[in-house]
A and B are shown apart, each in its own frame.
Chain A
């Protein structure tokens, strides 16, 4: 199995630009999670989906952030406009209901730098 795939691995952009992060979950997994990791705030859950439907977006910091899951094999996290404080590592994770205590499998992350 290829695991969770994220792209790009690194993104450097200027303040005000739109940023789109991409995630492909493990095939057959029906839950998808977006996390943000920073030194100051640690690992934060931003949003998660079940069967492509957003279930809990209470962690999305503000309206500049949006996430979509158009199908079972693809999700995007978009920041528009980006700000320097959005600099962080963004992780995508997936899990499948009913097995292995819903353990989450993480992708390698996207390191975002906003200058």
Chain B
């Protein structure tokens, strides 16, 4: 079975500060992992994905995530936050049946000026 836990439903950072959003997964098979971003009143947009190739994955808008099997984690980072990064971020896992995604509960990122 697959599941995702996102630690912290709300994260607040200052503009220019490091962004770290945490995601831990559970999977009985090698997983595929995803980060999606949702801006207000919009659908989810794919930020990046891990598909068993490189463990450090780079995505759009300067975000990256590192797959750590030993820690069952896939944390999302960005070196310097921008006001436009304020949004809700969702981690998702699929495995076995790769068509079915299991989403975390989401983390709302607030960026302070």
A residues contacting B by CB (< 8 A) are 4, 31, 42-43, 45, 48, 50, 55-56, 91, 93, 95, 97, 100-109, 111
In angstroms, Cα B101 to Cα A56, docked, is 12
User: For residue A91, which residues in chain B have a CB less than 8 angstroms away from its CB?
Assistant: 43-44
The residue that B99 contacts in the complex, of A31, A100, A108, A109, with Cβ under 8 A, is A31
User: SS class of chain A's interface: helix, strand, loop or mixed?
Assistant: strand
Contact A42:B103 (CB < 8 A) given known A103-B46, A106-B43 = yes
Distance in Å: Cβ of A82 to nearest Cβ of chain B = 22
Q: Are the CB atoms of A100 and B103 closer together than 8 Å?
A: no
In angstroms, Cα B90 to Cα A56, docked, is 22
Q: Are the CB atoms of A104 and B101 closer together than 8 Å?
A: yes
Contact A101:B103 (CB < 8 A) given known A91-B43, A91-B44, A108-B42 = no
Q: Are the CB atoms of A48 and B43 closer together than 8 Å?
A: no
1/0 per position for B33-59, CB-CB distance to A under 8 A? 010100001111110010100000000
In angstroms, Cα B90 to Cα A31, docked, is 21
User: For residue A4, which residues in chain B have a CB less than 8 angstroms away from its CB?
Assistant: 43
User: For residue B106, which residues in chain A have a CB less than 8 angstroms away from its CB?
Assistant: 42-43
Q: Are the CB atoms of A42 and B99 closer together than 8 Å?
A: no
Q: Give 6 closest A-B pairs by Cβ, nearest first.
A: A106-B43, A101-B51, A106-B44, A43-B103, A101-B32, A102-B98
Q: Any chain A CB within 8 A of the CB of B24?
A: no
